[in-house]
């Protein structure tokens, strides 16, 4: 009798859980972002994704008159998730690279990046000779790829799941140097309270780095995004969002 | 599906496998050594002796391994005191942080398995030891621990396999173990299904070896029980 009750109870519970799942609307555009890349995308205290990428996403949706939903996904699961249709587009500060273009299509750029080294203030770092230095970057990013391609054999490279963990280990003293995108690091130096202990080293490079919206190969959504992108650039919406985060143009 | 990437990156997957094996063997051996005194203290009827191991086991079994790894790796390093202490050269390395977290975790589970085994020994055997006048130490050394070792084997083999799979969490603290290596390769090739399938197959192969080894040890250790513990009687 007791066993039967337990079985019945769990069946009811499962039914309730299933019923609670939202019905999937067919024509909804699901946009994925990472949520750990302030100020471009991060999770606010209410658990909602916020930031430059997310603002751009909503602005584009408005122009496309589409019903959108913004979801978050760990960085290295973004492209795999897009490919298996867990969502329809990635607006997560993703650089347009040759390797990625083999897996997905990209819209036109919606801002430009650039890599820059970060190290403790006053530390003696010769960027032309990083032999034996411990260098950190986020896994599956342009920075990680650059390090793998150029410093694999000479420096000790460490790759992290999120950029936040890279900063944590830099503060902890496990890393001599960090390579990351200039803009989010600019924000980190300004807002994390560590700006007095760390500084950029050298100038930004890879400035030709363009950030785009990733969609599945051959998806028509790409053209819609491009059209909406042109519209927000023309009518000043883009400049407004830009000014919210950076005092200079990042396009 | 393009399995040529698996062939291309197989050497790197193997070097990740080597790290995984090191982590598992080190933490299982160290964990076993730590677990024995904890288990013995845990079966004590004296509350002063058994409460500390109880709390230890309660904490490490009750919190996720991921949280424990993060606490050891990112948590400890946030304190200036830790960074300036003599332990920093060890705590600085993700490898040793993983070994420490895994050892603490598996020792709690193993201690509980040992305890269960010691308490599963039939009361009559304990009484028999007392009747022939053995001291407590003699009783544990000659009868209880060897007996418990035989009883513990199936559950202990299970714990090692759980540890093998748990070791994948080392990849979250920058270690290039099998999972970490697989993720790094995928970051390059964007072929998650192929690479993860290959990594899964390697984990499976290691598990099979562990299962087989334990079957052998079990047969040897429990042979005094006859074939009973090994053969499952036919249903027919």
> Which CATH number covers residue B56?
1.10.3720.10
- Is any Cβ of chain B less than 8 angstroms from the Cβ of A37? no
Q: Write out chain B residues lying below 8 Å of A161, CB-based.
A: 172
- Confidence at residue B233, expressed as pLDDT on a 0 to 100 scale: 56
Is B236 inside any structural domain?
A: no
H-helix or E-strand spanning residue A134: strand A134-138
Q: For chain A, how many residues are written?
A: 251
Residues in Cβ contact with A52 at an 8 Å cutoff, skipping those fewer than 6 apart? A39, A40, A41, A93, A111, A241, A242, A244, A245
Is B67 inside any structural domain?
A: yes
pLDDT band at A24 (very low <50, low <70, confident <90, very high): very low
Distance (Å) from the alpha carbon of A193 to chain B's nearest alpha carbon: 14
Contact flag B192-A80 (C-beta cutoff 8 Å): yes
Contact flag A103-B190 (C-beta cutoff 8 Å): yes
At B138-194, the pLDDT tens digits run 998 998 888 888 889 999 999 999 999 999 999 999 999 999 999 999 988 888 899
- Is any Cβ of chain A less than 8 angstroms from the Cβ of B75? no
- Is any Cβ of chain A less than 8 angstroms from the Cβ of B186? yes
Q: For chain B, how many residues are written?
A: 236
Domains and CATH numbers, chain A: 28-112+209-245 (3.40.190.10), 114-207 (3.40.190.10)
A188 and A116 Cβ atoms separated by less than 8 Å: no
B16 and B178 Cβ atoms separated by less than 8 Å: yes
Task: Tell me how far apart the alpha carbons of residues A94 and A214 are, in angstroms, rounded to a whole number.
Answer: 8
At B90-111, the pLDDT tens digits run 999 999 999 999 999 999 999 9
Contact flag A100-B190 (C-beta cutoff 8 Å): yes
- Is any Cβ of chain B less than 8 angstroms from the Cβ of A139? yes
- Is any Cβ of chain B less than 8 angstroms from the Cβ of A64? no
Bridge partner residues of A214 (DSSP): A90, A106
Distance (Å) from the alpha carbon of A172 to chain B's nearest alpha carbon: 5
- Is any Cβ of chain B less than 8 angstroms from the Cβ of A105? no
- Confidence at residue A72, expressed as pLDDT on a 0 to 100 scale: 94
H-helix or E-strand spanning residue A190: helix A182-191
Of B74, B94, B183, the CB nearest to A139: B183
DSSP characters for B119-156? HHS-HHHHHHHHHTT--HHHIIIIIIHHHHHHHHHHHH
Neighbours of A23 (CB within 10 A): 6
A89 and A225 Cβ atoms separated by less than 8 Å: yes
Cβ burial A60-93 (10 Å sphere, 16+ → b, else e): bbebbebebbbebbebbbbbbbbeeeebbbbbbb
* Number of independent structural domains in chain B: 1
- Confidence at residue B225, expressed as pLDDT on a 0 to 100 scale: 72
Is B148 inside any structural domain?
A: yes
Is B119 inside any structural domain?
A: yes
Q: Does A26 score more than 50 pLDDT?
A: no
For residue B131 the two structure tokens come to 């009747």
Is B229 inside any structural domain?
A: no
Q: Does A9 score more than 90 pLDDT?
A: no
At A173-220, the pLDDT tens digits run 999 999 999 999 999 999 888 889 999 999 999 888 899 999 999 999
Task: Tell me how far apart the alpha carbons of residues A126 and A137 are, in angstroms, rounded to a whole number.
Answer: 18
- Confidence at residue B150, expressed as pLDDT on a 0 to 100 scale: 87
Average pLDDT over residues B200-211: 96
What range defines the domain where residue B157 resides?
Answer: 3-222
Of B77, B187, B189, the CB nearest to A172: B77
Please give the share of chain A, as a percent, with pLDDT higher than 70.
Answer: 90
Neighbours of B122 (CB within 10 A): 9
- Is any Cβ of chain B less than 8 angstroms from the Cβ of A158? yes
**Looking at chain B, which residue has its C-alpha nearest residue A140?**
B187
- Confidence at residue B31, expressed as pLDDT on a 0 to 100 scale: 96
Average pLDDT over residues B2-23: 94
A77 DSSP assignment: G
Q: Does A138 score more than 70 pLDDT?
A: yes
- Is any Cβ of chain A less than 8 angstroms from the Cβ of B78? yes
Contact flag B172-A144 (C-beta cutoff 8 Å): no
Task: Give me the total of CB pairs closer than 8 Å, taking one residue from chain A and one from chain B.
Answer: 49
Is B227 inside any structural domain?
A: no
- Is any Cβ of chain A less than 8 angstroms from the Cβ of B79? no
3-state secondary structure of B174: coil
Is B235 inside any structural domain?
A: no
């Amino acid at each position: 009798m007791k066993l039967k009750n337990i079985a019945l109870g769990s069946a009811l519970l499962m039914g309730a859980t299933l019923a609670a799942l939202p019905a999937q609307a067919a024509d909804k555009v699901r946009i994925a972002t990472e949520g750990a890349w302030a100020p471009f995308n991060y999770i606010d205290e209410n658990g909602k994704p916020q930031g430059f990428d997310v603002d751009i996403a909503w602005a584009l949706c408005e122009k496309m008159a589409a019903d959108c939903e913004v979801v978050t996904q760990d960085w290295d699961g973004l492209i795999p998730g897009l490919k298996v249709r867990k969502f329809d587009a990635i607006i997560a500060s993703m650089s347009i690279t040759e390797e990625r273009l083999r897996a997905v299509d990209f819209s036109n750029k919606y801002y430009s990046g650039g890599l820059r080294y970060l190290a403790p203030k006053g530390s003696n770092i010769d960027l032309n000779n990083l032999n034996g230095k411990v260098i950190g970057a986020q896994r599956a990013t342009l920075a990680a790829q650059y390090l793998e391609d150029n410093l694999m054999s000479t420096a000790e490279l460490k790759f992290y799941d999120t950029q936040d963990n890279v900063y944590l280990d830099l503060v902890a003293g496990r890393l001599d140097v960090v390579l990351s995108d200039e803009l989010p690091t600019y924000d980190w130096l300004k807002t994390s309270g560590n700006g007095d202990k760390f500084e950029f080293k050298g100038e930004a490079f890879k400035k030709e780095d363009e950030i785009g919206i990733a969609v599945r190969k051959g998806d028509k959504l790409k053209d819609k995004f491009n059209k909406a992108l042109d519209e927000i650039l023309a009518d000043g919406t883009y400049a407004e969002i830009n000014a919210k985060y950076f005092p200079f143009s990042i396009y | 599906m393009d399995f040529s990437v698996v062939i291309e990156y197989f050497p790197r997957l193997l070097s990740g496998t080597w790290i995984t094996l090191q982590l598992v063997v080190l933490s299982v051996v160290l964990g076993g050594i730590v677990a024995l005194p904890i288990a013995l203290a845990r079966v004590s009827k004296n509350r002063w002796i058994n409460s500390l191991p109880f709390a230890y086991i309660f904490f490490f079994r009750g919190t996720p391994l991921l949280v424990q790894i993060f606490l050891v790796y990112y948590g400890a390093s946030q304190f200036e005191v830790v960074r300036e202490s003599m332990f920093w050269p060890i705590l600085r390395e993700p490898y040793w942080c993983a070994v420490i977290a895994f050892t603490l975790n598996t020792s709690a589970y193993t201690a509980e398995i040992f305890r269960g085994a010691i308490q599963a020994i039939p009361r009559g055997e304990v009484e028999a030891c007392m009747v022939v006048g053995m001291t407590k130490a003699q009783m544990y050394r000659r009868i209880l621990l060897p007996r418990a070792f035989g009883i513990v084997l199936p559950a202990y083999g299970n714990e090692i396999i759980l540890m093998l799979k748990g070791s994948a969490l080392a990849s979250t603290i920058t270690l290039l173990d099998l999972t970490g290596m697989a993720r790094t390769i995928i970051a390059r090739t964007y072929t998650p299904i192929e690479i993860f399938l290959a990594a899964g197959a390697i984990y499976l192969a290691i598990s099979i070896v562990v299962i087989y080894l334990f079957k052998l040890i079990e047969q040897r250790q429990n042979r005094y029980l006859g074939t009973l513990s090994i053969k499952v009687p036919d249903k027919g």
